[in-house]
Structure 1
């Protein structure tokens, strides 16, 4: 059994996955109350699914980018559980969770999430036989800068504000926007990606797991 925790942004999610099916999943919007909401939500999920901590064989956490404080809370819980239960834990990039839910197409794709002050953290992906593969660095951009990225048909998924979604649809017809449902980060995808990573034997030292933070000074895509 694997417990996955995504606390990257105000969209928070947890899931239990046994390698064959999603046992339970909870997703909610928080008003920056990660500290007081996350642990009780985990207890609620365990109770509803009839699972106890002794059944856990692995843990997963969304690595970011995301909010500095919220990421730290997720990492603290996962690292604490991993060390106390003596089980492995892996970190998966937050944008990889988003793209895992998208259909495979032979065109480029951008994934993004809100980064505060009307900016987005955005990363580019391309399609290979094994799925979506990241291309280049994750950077911070405003919506008018994002609108200039697509010069040919290009998919885009993630936490777009309503006005920004309308702006892109109006100003760049090359963008193919994922629906709000497809753009929801589901912790079950995090669990699935982490399960595959654990089974591959690519384990990390839990003590050195750390979030990914993106700064304005990053290079441009």
Structure 2
């Protein structure tokens, strides 16, 4: 079930401790049921939980992963069981991430089969992005991982929008809005069946980016009206991907998170921190 909606609700700047604790208590309580189900399935069938769900889940035996992205003015979350995208919501919510994300996430977890009892992995965008947005997403993701004692993986923000793009021989630039007519941009190329970063994320401007374009190039991500006007004027040298493919969606974040967990990777909960970009010295 995939949904996209417009954000509503009061503006808040910090993580709502009551909402976080309520969600953590619910998830922690469900952990007992989760462990009981794993024990029962192994005893009764003689196979692991990953086989019960028909999945090859890797080292951590993840049966459901939640992905959270609040890096910019868009908020998105997804619930993914490794073979299916169960829930996804994406909406625009300037400065209201906390007030809107927690209630929606709690409802979504209550609607999926097995609920929070199956939640055993978390993926979150770690930046670049806005200071407040990244802090909110990171705090909620860490709270869930800590309450459940489950692995967490942080992924670069721009990798998420790039993951939605089709294979192409042309280089791909992904961008985020950074305010004050600045953008955060990174370049990727298609290699060995995946998009790979060629130029790391950096603060720049549209005039500076187009100076680096010398061959047919794709652009995706948060392209503002000024950028769209500049890029379309460069056609056919530059191609801007369709609007639906420029929106960052947590479903793709979940896919990337699954890849890392399947390889047995996870981040240190105490060391995982947002990445903020600064002007070059």
State if a TM-score over 0.5 links the two structures.
yes
1:154 to 217, 222, 227: 217
- Alpha-carbon contact 2:74-2:94 (below 8 Å) kept: no
Give per-residue Cα distances to partners, 1:103-131, cap 9 Å, x unaligned: 11112111011111111100011111131
SS at match of 2:183: strand
Aligned to 2:87: 24
What is the CA distance between 1:146 and its match in structure 2? 1.9
1:77 to 118, 140, 156: 140
Unaligned runs of 5+ in 2: 1-63
Q: In structure 1, what is the Cα distance between the partners aligned to 2:246 and 2:252?
A: 12
Q: In structure 1, what is the Cα distance between the partners aligned to 2:114 and 2:120?
A: 12
Count of matched residue positions in the alignment of Structure 1 and Structure 2: 218
- Alpha-carbon contact 1:150-1:172 (below 8 Å) kept: no
Aligned to 2:179: 116
Taking the TM superposition and a 5 Å limit, the aligned residue runs for 1:148-187 are 148-171=211-234, 173-187=236-250
What is the CA distance between 1:36 and its match in structure 2? 1.3
Aligned to 2:152: 89
1:10 partnered with 2:77: no
Q: In structure 1, what is the Cα distance between the partners aligned to 2:135 and 2:186?
A: 21
Give per-residue Cα distances to partners, 1:33-83, cap 9 Å, x unaligned: 112111112112223335532210100001111001110110001111111
What is the alpha-carbon root mean square deviation over aligned residues?
A: 1.4
When normalised by structure 2's length, the TM-score is: 0.75
Unaligned runs of 5+ in 1: none
- Alpha-carbon contact 2:216-2:237 (below 8 Å) kept: yes
Indicate the structure (1 or 2) with the bigger Cα radius of gyration: 2
**Looking at both structures, which has the greater relative contact order when contacts are Cα pairs under 8 Å and sequence separation is at least 6?**
1
When normalised by structure 1's length, the TM-score is: 0.94
SS at match of 1:35: helix
Pair 51,112 (structure 1): closer, same or farther in 2 beyond 3 Å: farther
SS at match of 2:257: helix
- Alpha-carbon contact 1:5-1:15 (below 8 Å) kept: yes
Q: In structure 2, what is the Cα distance between the partners aligned to 1:62 and 1:13?
A: 10
